[in-house]
Structure formats: C-alpha cells, structure tokens
Structure 1
Amino acid sequence: MTISDFRFQIWELKKFVSRKFRRGDPLFYRSFFRILLIVLLAVPLCPTMLWSQGNIRDTGPTLTASLDRDSAKVGSEVILTLGYHLPEGAGFPDIPEIKGLEDLTHIDREIGPDEIKITLLVDQLGSWKTGPISVSYLDKDGKTQVLTTDPVSLTVLSNLGEKPEEAELRPIQGIIPTTPLWWKYLPWVVGIAGLLLMIVLGLLWLYHRRRRKELSAMAQDPAHVWAKKEIEHLEAQGLFEKGQAKAFYFRFSEIVRRYLEAIRGFPAAEFTTEEITSCMDNEQDRKLLPLLRQADLVKFADTIPTPARKEEEVNTALAYIHETSPGPETGDSSGGQQRISS
C-alpha cells in the first residue's frame, strides 16, 4: 500500500465517522468509545513492545548450555544441549571446535538449527562437571569468532542405591579357567585313539602273517595242489553243516580268489567281483563268476544256500582247478578226480 492509498483510506474513515456523529447513532457511540478505550490502554505498551523487538534485532551472538537431567548414575548417558544464536551471515565450519569437554567421554554429536546436542557418558565418581564451554564459528567475513558460556554439572549417583554405606557387595567369584573344556578330555581321547591304532595294527599284522603263511605254502606246493588241499581241509572242518555258512563262504571265496590270482597275475584277492569280471578274458575263467557272486550274497546279504547248491559250487571250483592245472597230478590227484566225479 502506498502513502497516497493510506491517506485515501484515512479520509474515507473520517467521512464515515462524521456521518455517524451527525446522525447521532447511539450504537455507533458505544462502539466508538470502546475502541477509543482499547487504544488508550494499548498506547503505554507500544514503546515496550517496540523496544523488545529492537532489542531482539540488536542481540549479538549467544551460547547457552544445559543438561537433560540434574543427576545420573555411573555408566549412564546424558545429553548436553548447546543453544546458540549467530549473527546474520555467520555459520559453523564442517566440524565446529567445541572446548571445555576434553575430560569427558563423547558418544555422539548432532548439530541442528539453533542447537547442538552432544551425548556424553557419565564415567566419573564424585563430581561430573564440564569446563567453560566455547564454540568457534565463522562470521560473514570468514573470520573465526568464539561463543562462550558457563560450565554445567550434575550429581553422580551411586549404583549401590540411596544408602551405599549399607549395601553389601556380592561374594567374589572364583577364577574362571581359560583352558578349553575339551582339554581335560584330551588324555582320554589320545588313549582311545592309541588303543584303536594298536588294534588296527594288530589286525594288519595278523592278516599279513596269515598271508605270508599262505604264500609260503603256495611256494612249497604248486598253486593247484595248494588250492585243492585248502578246499579239502575246509570241507573237513564241516563249517557249513554246523550252520556257519558265512564263515565257510568267506574262506571258500578267498581260496578261489587266491588261486585265480596265482595263475592269472592280477590281485583277485583284493578285487571286488565286478573288478575280477573286468579282468577275465576267457570263458574258462568266467565259469567262476556264479560261484563268486553266490559267495558275495552269503557273505554280505545273509543268503543261505542249500547243501546241494554248496556241493555244486565246491565241485565247480575243483573242476576249474583241475582244468587249469599244468599237467597230470600225482598223489592227491586221484582223490580230486573222485570228488569231481561224485
């Protein structure tokens, strides 16, 4: 609104008031005097309000400090609020320098408009107090200026309650061992492992000792003579007839495999039946496959063959030994022939 517009509005108001006065309207008189009374009462307050506004505009940079509580226990967190007012055009650097808190433990800092909130840890017994607090800022010319305020403090409460002198401390716990729990079981583990190792070594020794005996026996006798003697000795033990079919077939299969190993040159005693099958290159050797597979069923599937089936497989093995022997046998050959023909 311009000055001319304002003068026009005053002139219009003046004409309106003059018309009302000339007409003598009582309602207008009452309203007019009420407004006049309010204006008269408000006039003394105007200088005060104007002075306050001017004082706010003229106030310089200020800094205040306050805590969010008057007391706290050791280990608690308190928030220090720094309220500030900066001159026009002034501001803080990226990280404002705050002094007076050097002896306190800082946890967090948050800078907002008109205030800085700093989270501190109460980690001191007795008195907890800041030093004189100062904050640096940059004025509109880029020069460093400083805001200062008085220290603040709080009362540190005891964690032992309101009457710490009457509190009783808990008993001191015993020393916690740092040795791992499994350490005390280590001797037992080592002892058991050593015992198992000795058992395994003993079994291996017995196996190789038996193997050496068999090899020495085979070295003294031709392979076919040794094989027939072993089968006849196994039959004489009567294991199958005593209900020990599995023990019989374990030994019977081993004799056949060792004989096959001696005449064919591959470790049949160590091979599985399928591996032996892949090494057989003639029909004569393949006649042993049904025998070996039946032996596997008895050994590993608990199959019990009939006595006739067992007798047939023994005759098959003896016939194979007879067919693969190097020449006419002497001594035991007649007995072997009788067994095959029976």
Structure 2
Amino acid sequence: MSYHLYIHIPFCKSKCPYCDFYSLPYEESLARQYIDILSKEIRNLNINVSTVYIGGGTPTVLSPNLLESLLKTMEKIIRRSKESTIEANPESLSEDKLKLFLKKGINRISIGIQSLREDKLKFLGRIHSTGEGIDVVYKAKRIGFKNISVDLIYGVPYETLESWRKELKAIVKLPVTHISCYSLTPEESTPFYKFKEEIDEDTVAQMFLYNMNYLPRKGFYHYEVSNFAKRNYQCKHNLAYWDNAPYIGLGPSAVSFIEGRRVKNVEDIQRYIEGKNSKKSLIIEEKLSPRRRAKETVCLNLRRKVGVEFARFREKTGFDFWEIEDRDVVRRLIKNGFLRYKKRGKKIIGLFLTKKGFLYADEVCSELI
C-alpha cells in the first residue's frame, strides 16, 4: 500500500486573524526541539510514500539550518515520491531557501500570496506587500521551479466583483501553474468572526461563478471546488484526500487516515513533543464503519470536477453507489440543478456537481452523507 504524507510546521511570524489552523509564534529553540522529534518520526516510517506535503503554519519561517536538517532526513522519501510540496509565505521565502528546496528534491511550491491589493493584504493581517508576493513567484520560476501554486482569498467585507476580477487578471499573468481560490470563512475561534454578518453572500457567489468561468479560459482547468490548474499540474497530494486515500499526518493537529481509522494528533506542540519523548500516544481516534467511509468517499469525490465514477467507487469501497445513497434524494438534487449524471452513450456511469452544485457543495454533501 502507498501512503500520502503530511508534515505540519506549526510556526508563523504572526498569526493571521482569519486563520483557525493550529500555529504559534516562531521560537528557534522550540522549533529545534520539534524538528528533532519530527526527524525521529520520519526515520521510523517504514512505508511507501506517493506524495509529500509540508504545510503549516509557515514552513519557510524555519531557519535555513532547520529546513536543511528536516529535508535531509526526508531525502529518501522525497526522492521516491511523485510530488513533494512545501508551503511558503513571501516574507520568509528567500532565494537561498528556494535553492535549498530544489537541491533537496522539493518539486512543487505553494505560495500564500492571498491578494494583490495592498489594502486587502493589510485587512487580512498579512505582513508582505503586493510587490513581495509578485517578486517571489518570479524568483521561484527563475531559480528553477516548474510547478508553482498560489493561494488567494476572496469575499472579504465590502470587496467588489470588479476588484476581484482585476486581481485574477493580474494573477494569470504570473508564471504559475496552479491557483487556489478560497472564500473568506470567518470561524468562531478567530478574531474575524466579528465580520461574519458583513460578508455579502451574493457578491461571494458572483465571485465564485466568475472563477469557474474566467480561469479555465486562461488555461487553468477547474478540477476541484476551490482549485484550478494548468494541464497535468493538479495537486496530486490533495487529489489523494478527495479520493479518500490513506494518508499519514505528523505534527500537532495533523490527521492520519488508514483503513477507516481517523486519528488526530494533540493540538499542542509542547504536549506533542512530551508525548513522543515518553512514547505516549496523545490522539483523538475515530473508527469509521465501511458504510460511513463509503458515504464520506461520495462527498469527497464530489468535490472534484469529475465527480463520482460508479465503477471506481465500487472497486474502492466495496459498495454499489445505490446501496448507500437514496435515489429519491439524488433525483431531487438533479431536478433542482445541483447534480448531473455522467453518461457513456445511454449508460449512466457517474454523478457530478453542476456549477450551481459547486456553489452549494457543502449543502449537497450534507444531503448525501
């Protein structure tokens, strides 16, 4: 069996007020302890790894020495993986770090640009400028990265469709192969929750529909709810998540999913380090029944443009699609314009979300789960 490996680097220079991922301010001595623990875990892995994703937090906030130490430990895994991604923020992505990543086999970089408007960056609490965001993309390309992804946020309070159009028009001119567009979702645990009622849902919907219409015309295929890629540049690691494939997560708050068993690590770096040193397992565990796992697979598959393919679904889960889903519910969702059958000739071979369905993907999945 082949696995997908996620490594969480929970440090940031500063916490963005909209972010609800586990992170904390960077501290060199704590980061060194953490990288030592991670390195031990990685050396003890005895698995085949198809993809690697180093996320955060902000992995590039680590010092060059710590990054080199981590990547050196991962050399064999990275060399054998089909795709190795590291997340980066413009303010901490130096030329030396870019060269180090390429030297150690990282072949995909995901840069958190978030916006090309100075006022929007300031509102989002980002600490880089528009110019810095653009510069690091060109720098990554010049140094040798062929697979460059950028993250963008839209739908902030009082943002207009026209201003979002201008941002996308500028983004597609950059030498990037992948664009992730995320609508701002103020979570209750974040300072941005106070803006929840100030977001215009109609405008956000217009922006989402514009993404789906505009980006494919510029060569970025819409392959998942929030993700667009040039041909052959879809994120293999994330595709594995949406296929409900097995994955292993290392680090505080990271999640693993193996044979229907979902495990979440403790959300506290000190407790994580102490637990690993004392060989105590600090986790939250959930065991999914085969039926529940199959239902989750339906929802994850539907996030992809290709949707659910019935033959593949049966092969993967052991269930016929209609064993676990209600035909009447599916018919109603089709009638209301959220779903459409995929056909080969006259034969129905699958199911996928329409543009309207993508707009209400979470609601559609709640009907099917």
TM-score range, shorter chain: under 0.3
- Return the index of the structure with the highest Cα Rg: 1
TM-score (norm 2): 0.19
Q: Which has the higher strand share?
A: 2
RCO comparison, higher one (Cα < 8 Å, 6+): 2
